[in-house]
Amino acid sequence: MIKPHGSDTLNSLLVTDADQLQQLRNEAESLPSLLLNSAAAANAVMMGAGYFNPLTGYMNLADSLSVAETLHTVDGLFWPVPVVNLVKDASAIEGAGRIALRDPNTEGNPVMAIMDVDAIEQVTDAQIHMMAQEIFGTLDPEHPGVSTFTGLGRHMVSGNIQVLSLSYFQADFPDTFRTANEIRDEITQRGWQKVVAFQTRNPMHRAHEELCHMAMKRLNADGVVVHMLLGKLKKGDIPASVRDDCIRKMVDLYFPENSVMVTGYGFDMLYAGPREAVLHAVFRQNMGCTHLIVGRDHAGVGDYYGAFDAQTIFADRVPEGALDIEIFNADHTAFSKKLGRVVMMNEAEDHTKDDFILLSGTKVRELLGNGIAPPPEFSRPEVAKILMDYYQLENA
């Protein structure tokens, strides 16, 4: 199986030994406490679940600036996005060497990790803006990732962590949330060698479905891991539970048996386009996938990124040998009225835009909200039914 990024074996930071877990929980009650913001909590979940291997904790300022500017830590580890714990007020933990990190997304704010504090550093506005510009390619406050990142705070708390809880993800998505270790184990159990990862924060329409089929066929892959984001999204995005139902329905009806794993991970969407695409590649390698589908405007939002910037970054900014996972570059896929099937648009000769069935996200939401199914060439009717029920309930 493909090796994890940066190490020979996967180093999950989640404490699983029952006695050690209880000991740490008892210790946490006497430690100074820090309530995390959702972004820092998501980073803890990803480290706990093994997706951010080989990181052992939150980055300090020097590493964060280096990663933002060069895609490497000070010590030379390839990494695409700073993994930070930024806070607005660090007075409660000032001078502490060991602290309890509390979960902002679970009722009662239980302890989700214990941290050995290496440093609490003041970050200037100029440094925050430099990092945001590098990560997101813009400082536009209307960009959801920029507004989140620049609003997290100016105190950076760094150090190694021991993760005691993966927040609400295991309880809320017991059939879907999986750690990187669990996905590796299942890939082994299924006997898969060549494995394609498909990233999604949306329900999968016909184009996405066919893209997975295309990648599997062209790569001669054993299977595809549909890996959906289960964390926080921007306003208007479809909830994870609805997406989960849609994807499972599509897989059950339109994929061969033992060809798809439907899984999810606990992270808040960054909307960082190219940088986030590279982060996706890192943690898909960590979970055992050999290939990642990178499509048009992967991890983008609005018009902030070029259609294929998330593909070109792998050639332009990722050094040879930095990652073992390979990228399956995909064009926009759509149903061709001429050919009677879904195709990559750049591979369809003698076609104009009018030869494809193309619907904007706004138009699709409008149809669904009015109880009208999109054309079957665009969306499977069984999937459309789930989405219509959701939108009509939302609009009631």
Catalytic site positions: 201-202
Structure tokens at 277: 């695409």
Closest CA to 117 of 40, 21, 34: 34
228 phi and psi angles, rounded to 5 deg: -100, 145
Closest CA to 5 of 197, 284, 274, 294: 284
